[in-house]
Each structure stands twice: as structure tokens, then as C-alpha cells.
Amino acid sequence: MELIDEKIAGNPEEIKSEHEQEFDYITLRCNELINRYPEQKSLFEHYMEKQREEYEVLENSVVCLTMVIKEKHLE
């Protein structure tokens, strides 16, 4: 196979903004659930912390890349 082209997907600032918005939704929902089920507060707080860690990894350690490859034919 031969690599024809590769492109990093998305603008890093746009991706970070999307992640922040998604995390805001998660936080909002978890806080709603904490109010509704206060006995489960630690569960929801733990979930929010794990999600924050995952977003940190996505923003700092993972690169989304699209590659175009072509199969080499033997002649």
C-alpha cells in the first residue's frame, strides 16, 4: 500500500471548544442528578472527573488523522 495523502482532522481550537461545550452539558446533567439523588453524589462527581480526564487526553495526546492509501499492484 502507498500513502497518497494525510490530513489532521479539525481545527484544534474548534475541537477544544466543542469538548468544553460537551463537558458543560455533562456537568449540568450530573449536577441535576446530584440534586435529585444526593445519596449518589460521589458517583456523579467521580463520573465528571473521569470525563474531564478523558477530554484532557483527547485534547493533548490524541490526533485524529485521515489517511488516503492506495493499494500497490504488482506488475
pLDDT at 61: 80
Query: Where on the phi/psi map is residue 70: left (φ > 0), alpha (ψ -120 to 50), or beta?
Result: beta
pTM value? 0.68
pLDDT computed for residue 63 by the predictor: 74
Q: pLDDT tens, position by position, for the chain (75 residues)?
A: 777 777 766 677 888 888 899 999 999 999 999 999 999 999 999 999 999 999 888 888 877 778 788 887 766
* Sequence-distant (≥ 6) Cβ neighbours of residue 65 within 8 angstroms: 6, 7, 8, 9
The confidence score (pLDDT) of residue 54 equals 92
